Amino acid sequence: MTVAGYLRQLRLELTARGVADSRILDEARDHLEDAVAEELGHGRRLDDAEREALARFGAPQIVAAGFPRGRGRMLDRLLASVSGLNIAATLWLSGSLLVLAPARANHARWFLAGAVILTHGSLTLAATAAEYPSERLRTTLAAGAAVLLALAAASAFQLLSEPHFEGFRLVLTPLLTLQGALTLVRVPIRSGPGVARRHRNL
């Protein structure tokens, strides 16, 4: 891993803990730059110098764990609660659909949407419970959040345009919107362009 890659990972870990102080990254960058320069002064190649400096500094997860969680933890709990509500509502509605079998129901479309909601909700609960959710999981959740927002938009359109009122859409639409929005806020999948430019030449 390069210094630039390390700083990107450290930023993700800090963000996941709700720590938003940019001075931490600035201090880490300065420290690593000095350590790399010291190793280069001992005759090491650049990749070896970076590897040694990073080994002495510590893994990003360990460094981030040294800082107390910020308000992000409260958002994690809110996201987990909303996901749990969506899972419960989806299971209840699916059961009602099977038992009552309304004539207008599109079973295929509902169960496809329900599978997305249940899968995303389960993965969200796993991510909010984990100390260090993997980057792959965070990327999957961010992509799924876009799907949830699309489902919410479609549900809102049907709620407003169809002549008959469907109460379950009134419940699911805001819950799906909230879950999708909170996921995008709490699940960083890449460092911002400013950070990338700042560390490009490290």
Residues 98 and 174 in one domain: yes
In the predicted model, is pLDDT for residue 1 greater than 90? no
Q: How far is CA 106 from CA 109, 170, 200, in A?
A: 6, 18, 51
Backbone angles phi, psi at 172, to 5 degrees: -70, -35
Collapsing DSSP to helix, strand or coil, 20 comes out as coil
pLDDT digit string, tens, across residues 101-147: 766 666 788 789 889 999 999 999 988 887 667 778 888 999 999 99
**pLDDT, position 122:** 94
Residues 16 and 56 in one domain: yes
117 domain residue, yes or no: yes
Residues 99 and 164 in one domain: yes
- Provide the whole-model pTM: 0.53
Residue 191 pLDDT level (bands cut at 50, 70, 90): very low
What is the count of structural domains for the chain? 2
pLDDT digit string, tens, across residues 175-188: 999 999 999 887 75
Residues 136 and 151 in one domain: yes
Range 139-154 burial, b when 16+ CB lie within 10 A, else e: ebbbebbebbbebbee
And the tokens for 34?
Answer: 């000095």
Residues 79 and 176 in one domain: yes
Of 16, 49, 69, the position where a domain reaches its end is 69
Residues 59 and 103 in one domain: no
Of 21, 41, 69, the position where a domain reaches its end is 69
The percentage of residues in the chain with a pLDDT greater than 70, rounded to a whole number, is 81
Residues 19 and 108 in one domain: no
Torsion-angle region of 105 (φ positive above 0: left; ψ -120 to 50: alpha; else: beta):
beta
Residue 200 pLDDT level (bands cut at 50, 70, 90): very low
Residue ranges making up the domain that contains 143: 72-186
pLDDT digit string, tens, across residues 39-86: 999 899 998 999 999 999 988 888 887 775 655 667 788 899 999 999
Residues 102 and 160 in one domain: yes
**pLDDT, position 40:** 92
201 domain residue, yes or no: no
DSSP letter string over 120-176?
A: HHHHHHHHHHSSS--HHHHHHHHHHHHHHHHHHHHHHHHHHHSSS--HHHHHHHHHH
